[in-house]
Amino acid sequence: MKLRINCQTCDARRVNEDNYKEFSQIRIYTEELLVDDRSKEVLNRLPFNIKAEEVRTKDLSEDPGNKSQNINGIYEISADSAVAEGTSVNVNGMLKIAPGTGEVLKRFSRISVNGIVLCPKSIAALLPLPMLTINGMTKSYPDDYTLMDNQYSLDKYFPMRAPENTGYFAASFIYDAEDETDFGKLAEKNVKFSTDKVYIRKSHIDKALPLFNIEASIVEIPDGCKVIVADHNEINDQFVNTNGGNLFIIGNVHISNGNKGALDRIESLIVEGEITTESECAKRLEDIGAKCDKLIVTHGIVMEDMPIASLDRETLESATEGILVRDCALLRLDRNIPGDLIRSRLKIRDCAKVSCSEEQKGAVSSVSSDVAFIGSSSVKSLLGSLFGSGVEESEVSSEPSAFEDDTKYINAEYYEL
């Protein structure tokens, strides 16, 4: 799994190495990166690839009134958590509270959560707690259930390993990963599941459904399909070689004209998400009866996966079918491109920054999505190794597209690792 962060300021001084070990690559595109001596060592040990306009070394002690922890991602509180009296925590993401944590919770002076609180029903019954504020939602699970990954894969080995009379909870969904999974054996062991949504193969429906909570929504998977769970999926020959030609994908899919040969090898395709493709592939998707939440067919020129992309008026005027710019760290627009031309010919997706004039900002905003910030500034990129020597922009080589792998995206003005 890979991670990409697009932000204006990235504060790495509290980086926790354990939170990022699961990622094979982490790319950060930012204007300003804050580090200290400890975080430099952590960043150098992990697979970070950072592109920044400015890197500043600043100790946490220099921040006035710094008495609280800011957590981006998942923060867990268990019965044996070491928490100092009066601790204050801000969580942007998910707070997981384990059973038997009543005494530990009393040590916090304040817990603020922007996102989801996941807790056992015994704790949920006590809410609202005086020191806990929640801007989001609360999910509760039976106290005697085992907490699994939010998106849990139920494979053919699970029935052999699960003890009798046990329960399992997944916050988002559980999916039936393999045709060989023996739900009859799980029923014999009196194994139960609780989740919001369950994906079950057609041949397993009768035996599997009684094992799940009645509130769970059900999605039927055709037998023989390979289930893939990833935010972004690029259909190419390698993808088909690995997963086969009958696919059920939970996530978004991208198919370029250059990969039409791979698409021709697919017999069935169901996507719980968007399919983004080009005109030559749209007919093939129709022929195989592909299903998806939304089909986006792009036309014209596609500029993608560039650390720095530049666009002038002549290029935009000559692109009669328009230009799509996506997955770029920085897009620089010439100041002489009028707003009407931007609105009629340009689309911008998943870029860290668009550099343009004040007069162009309104037009750029109207054609942009998932762009961290729009405006004008000087550009001095520190590329390659974070603490190595800088290189000129012309020396930057392109990397494989983020659409080719399982990449998680974060777009924000300020992000704290």
Q: Which pLDDT score, from 0 to 100, does residue 244 have?
A: 95
* Between 367 and 80, residue with greater pLDDT: 367
Q: Residues 328-350: what's their mean pLDDT?
A: 91
Give the whole-angstrom CA distance, residue 99 versus residue 124.
11
User: What pTM does this model have?
Assistant: 0.63
Residue 399: band (very low, low, confident or very high) from pLDDT cuts 50, 70, 90: very low
| pLDDT above 80 (res 379) | no
Q: What is the DSSP string of 66-134?
A: --EEEEEEEEEE-TT----TTEEEEEEEEEEE-TT-HHHHTTEEEEEEEEEEEEEHHHHTTPSPTTEEE
Which pLDDT does position 154 carry in this prediction?
A: 95
pLDDT at 394 exceeding the cut of 50 = no
What's the average model confidence in pLDDT over 332-361?
91
Q: Which residues of 373-392 are buried (b: 16+ CB within 10 A; e: fewer)?
A: bbeeeeeebbbeebeeeeee
Report pLDDT for 275. 93
- Summarize pLDDT for 254-270 with one digit per residue, the tens: 998 889 999 999 999 99
pLDDT tens-digit map of 236-256:
999 999 999 999 999 999 998
| Residue 403: per-residue pLDDT | 41
What confidence score (pLDDT) does residue 62 get? Answer: 52
The helix, strand and coil proportions of the chain, stated in percent and rounded to the nearest 5, come to 25, 45, 30
| Structural domain boundaries in the chain | 68-143, 146-221, 229-298, 308-380
The band of 68, judged by pLDDT with boundaries at 50, 70 and 90, is low
| Range name among 115-129, 152-166, 208-222, 400-414 with the lowest pLDDT average | 400-414
Q: If pLDDT is split at 50, 70 and 90, which confidence band does 400 have?
A: very low
Q: What is the average per-residue pLDDT within 263-285?
A: 92
Each residue of 191-200: pLDDT tens digit? 999 999 999 9
Q: pLDDT at position 80, please?
A: 85
Quick one: pLDDT at residue 384?
A: 38
What local confidence, expressed as pLDDT, does residue 49 receive?
Answer: 85
Please provide the average confidence, as pLDDT, over all residues in the chain: 85
Amino acid sitting at position 315: T
CA angle 49, 368, 114 (to 5 degrees): 65
Provide the percentage of residues in the chain whose pLDDT is more than 70.
90
